[in-house]
């Protein structure tokens, strides 16, 4: 069926109206959907705003707490500021101490290494010295050197106050015995004192190799020291047989046995307490370096006193001779004064005789113009006065005799 234009128009209008209604309904539905979405968005936004406000409140509270804490920390820091300064000073001091400790530690390590080296060298030297002292020749030479040093330390002069290695021969029973003490000390009054420096020390050296605090070896060490004392006693007996003092009858009948180490005598007397008395009773004096030095200082002091006394006696002798010669000289002056007085008297008598006896006759020759002859002057009493010596030092009661040491008087003319 074919539609007319009017129907087509109405159909078109109807279609358009239906489309408009459908479009309105569709638009309204979309608007409702938009409103629903907007409501949901608003609700979510409100939730977000509430959450933000809660968070803001919480942040504000936290910020307030932080501000208060910050203020409290600032107060604490201000209160701790002096302590911080002190801690800084302590820290600096600790750093300096650490630096100094490090330096000192390095020095200590260096010193310990040096001490270890010195200890090793000392140990080697001790071993070498120990080996050398086991030789009788080296031991005797060491004792002689020690003896010479001590004598020189006492202020004595060789060939004046002492002599070394002086040999002598003694005849007894048809046999000749050669004696040679290590030193002879000269004493005032032409006295002499012999010194022997040869000492046995083999047992002593063996004992010194054993530690004194070792209980296992203490018995062996004591036996070695006892043997050392016994050998020293035997050496005393040998010196008694040599009898050095017999060569010096006007001297102290003593011989000094010099031990070049203090411990040699100390250990021997500790092992044998009667050793000193035994030696002294036989005329042997056991002497360590210190006691020998004291003895020699005493001898040197005696020498000084003796020299002073000798010089004083010489001065007194010279003074007496000088006084005697002065008295002789004064005697000569006295005689010269008397001679001068006699000469003045003779002179005055000669002048008197000239004037009274000779010139009176000469003046009688008037033609010879004898009146112009002058007369020599007399010596008056003041000019002719001879001063006499009245000092008691030069006017002895008796005129001393002129000895051969005094100059003889000149012959009278």
Rounded-to-integer distance, Cα 185 and Cα 293, Å: 12
Report residue 135's pLDDT band, with 50, 70 and 90 as the boundaries. low
pTM of the model: 0.46
Q: How many helices (H) and strands (E) does the chain have?
A: 8, 7
pLDDT for res 401: 43
Report residue 409's pLDDT band, with 50, 70 and 90 as the boundaries. very low
pLDDT for res 2: 45
Across 95-182, the runs of DSSP E, i.e. the strands, are 162-164, 168-172, 175-179
| Higher-pLDDT residue of 412, 252 | 252
What is the overall mean pLDDT for the chain?
Answer: 76
What are the tens digits of pLDDT across the range 301-317?
A: 877 777 666 677 788 88
What are the tens digits of pLDDT across the range 227-270?
A: 989 999 999 999 888 888 888 877 888 888 988 888 888 888 88
Asked whether the beta carbons of 32 and 40 are under 8 A apart, the reply is: no
Across 280-355, the runs of DSSP E, i.e. the strands, are 284-287
Q: Among 90-94, 212-216, 296-300, 364-368, which is the least confidently predicted range?
A: 364-368
Q: Is the per-residue pLDDT at 175 higher than 80?
A: no
Rounded-to-integer distance, Cα 345 and Cα 351, Å: 10
Mean predicted confidence (pLDDT) in 284-288: 89
Mean predicted confidence (pLDDT) in 49-69: 81
Residue 106 Cα distances to 92, 94, 95, 112, angstroms: 21, 18, 17, 10
Report residue 327's pLDDT band, with 50, 70 and 90 as the boundaries. confident
pLDDT for res 130: 62
Across 340-403, the runs of DSSP E, i.e. the strands, are none
What are the tens digits of pLDDT across the range 352-377?
A: 887 788 777 777 765 556 555 555 66
pLDDT for res 378: 60
Nearest residue to 231 via CA among 200, 260, 255: 200
Rounded-to-integer distance, Cα 92 and Cα 84, Å: 12
Rounded-to-integer distance, Cα 69 and Cα 75, Å: 10
Phi, psi of 292 (to 5 degrees): -65, -40
């Amino acid at each position: 069926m074919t539609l007319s234009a009017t129907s087509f128009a109405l159909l078109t209008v109807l279609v358009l109206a239906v489309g408009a209604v459908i479009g309105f309904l569709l638009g309204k539905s979309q608007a409702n959907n938009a409103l629903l979405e907007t409501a949901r968005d608003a609700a979510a936004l409100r939730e977000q705003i509430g959450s933000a406000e809660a968070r803001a409140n919480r942040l504000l509270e936290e910020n307030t707490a932080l501000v208060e804490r910050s203020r409290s920390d600032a107060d604490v820091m201000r209160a701790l500021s002096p302590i911080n300064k002190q801690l800084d000073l302590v820290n600096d001091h600790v750093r300096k101490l650490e630096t100094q400790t490090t330096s000192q530690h390095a020095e200590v390590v260096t010193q310990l290494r040096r001490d270890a080296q010195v200890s090793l060298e000392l140990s080697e030297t001790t071993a070498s010295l120990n080996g050398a002292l086991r030789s009788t020749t080296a031991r005797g030479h060491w004792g002689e050197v020690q003896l010479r040093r001590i004598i020189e330390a006492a202020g004595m002069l060789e060939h004046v106050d002492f002599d070394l290695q002086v040999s002598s021969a003694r005849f007894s029973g048809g046999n000749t015995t050669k004696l040679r003490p290590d030193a002879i000390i000269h004493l005032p009054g032409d006295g002499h004192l012999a010194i022997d420096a040869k000492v046995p020390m083999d047992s002593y050296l063996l004992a010194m190799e054993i530690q004194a605090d070792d209980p296992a070896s203490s018995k062996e060490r004591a036996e070695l020291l006892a043997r050392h004392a016994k050998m020293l006693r035997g050496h005393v007996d040998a010196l008694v047989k040599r009898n050095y003092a017999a060569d010096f009858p006007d001297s102290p009948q003593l011989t000094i046995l010099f031990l070049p180490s203090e411990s040699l005598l100390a250990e021997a007397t500790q092992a044998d307490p009667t050793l000193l008395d035994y030696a002294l009773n036989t005329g042997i004096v056991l002497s360590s370096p210190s006691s020998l030095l004291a003895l020699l200082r005493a001898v040197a002091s005696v020498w000084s006193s003796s020299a002073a006394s000798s010089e004083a006696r010489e001065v007194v002798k010279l003074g007496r001779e000088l006084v005697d010669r002065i008295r002789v000289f004064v005697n000569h002056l006295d005689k010269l004064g008397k001679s001068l007085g006699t000469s003045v008297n003779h002179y005055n008598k000669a002048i008197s005789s000239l004037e009274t006896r000779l010139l009176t006759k000469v003046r009688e020759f008037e033609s010879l113009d004898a009146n112009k002859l002058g007369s020599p002057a007399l010596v008056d009493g003041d000019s002719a006065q001879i001063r006499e010596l009245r000092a008691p030092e030069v006017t002895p009661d008796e005129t001393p005799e002129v000895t051969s040491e005094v100059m003889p008087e000149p012959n009278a003319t």
